[in-house]
Homo-oligomer: A and B are copies of this chain.
Amino acid sequence: MTRIAYLGPAGTFTEQAARQFPVDGAEYVPVDSPASALAALAGGEVDYAVCAIENSVDGAVTATADALAATPGVQIMGETELAIAFAVMTQPGVALSRATRLATHPVAFQQVKQWVGVHAPDAQFVPAASNAAAAQMVADGQADIAVAPERAAELFGLTVHATGVADSETARTRFVLVGKQGALPAPTGADRTAVVLRTPNEPGALVGVLKEFAARGVDMSRIESRPTREEPNTYQFFVDLVGHAQDPDVADALRAVEDKASSVLFLGSWARA
């Protein structure tokens, strides 16, 4: 049995993403944060962890980035994408127009505010700890409407009034499948490589490192500076490269970067979704 940790409870988008990876006979284990998912993986309690890594609207998922940088012995093996759109649900037989308490996670509420203003203008927002918890609140009678992933309606026996609800139609989230460090997935010709760099604390040091990619025509698809959390005002850089660490140009650039950066943490090479 392959055990896969994900940000729970059951019914979250991360669970939905975890189920998109082709794993036979998997058991899905809900945990309470990306850091817990990776800790369970590093500790051998699960075989894989699935974590949200980037949202097309909100950018990097910082909790996952920090957890990847802080957990030794893990490696990204693959990715999948989900369109982030919500379902609106109530207990069976309840009309939306009569429902007054609308529960969802505060972040989700930001993403559906315009829709709610039009379709349930009188509903009062009741914050929930997660979208799945919002569905539970409706099931328990503590709220009338939940805004949650569609799967939550199934889990809690609720009626779905609308699906695909999202103020921004292009919101997509990318999730990664993280495994134990080991052999890289084979190059496919359409791959992504992620590294975390630290550079000497002097002007131009970062550019000196990034030049090694540019000089070889290796494109960066993303770069984020993040506090190291070790000392104030010290940063590490999360860089996504287009290509696989076994592609000659990428391999060559990574060797050159090893010499210039103060540290390079390799997070993996895998096929793009």
Chain A residues within CB distance 8 Å of chain B: 33, 56-59, 62, 105-106, 110, 125, 127-129, 168, 170, 172, 202-204, 206-208, 210-211, 213-215, 217-227, 229, 232-233, 235, 237, 242
Contact = CB atoms under 8 A, between A and B. Distances in A.
A128 B237 CA distance: 33
A221 B56 CA distance: 25
B207 A222 contact: no
Contacts of A217: 203-204
A235 B54 CA distance: 13
User: Which has the most chain B C-beta neighbours within 10 Å: A59, A172, A202, A219?
Assistant: A59
A203 B219 contact: yes
B168 A229 contact: yes
Contacts of A58: 62
A250 to B, nearest CB: 12
Tell me whether chain A's interface is mostly helix, strand or loop, or mixed.
mixed
A58 B125 CA distance: 26
Given A211-B211, A214-B204, A128 B127 contact: yes
Contacts of A226: 59
Given A168-B229, A207-B211, A218-B203, A224 B59 contact: yes
Contacts of A229: 56-57, 168, 170
A133 to B, nearest CB: 8
A267 to B, nearest CB: 16
A211 B207 CA distance: 6
A207 B204 CA distance: 11
Contact of A56 (B202, B203, B208, B227): B227
Contacts of A221: 233, 235
A58 to B, nearest CB: 6
Contact of A127 (B106, B207, B220): B106
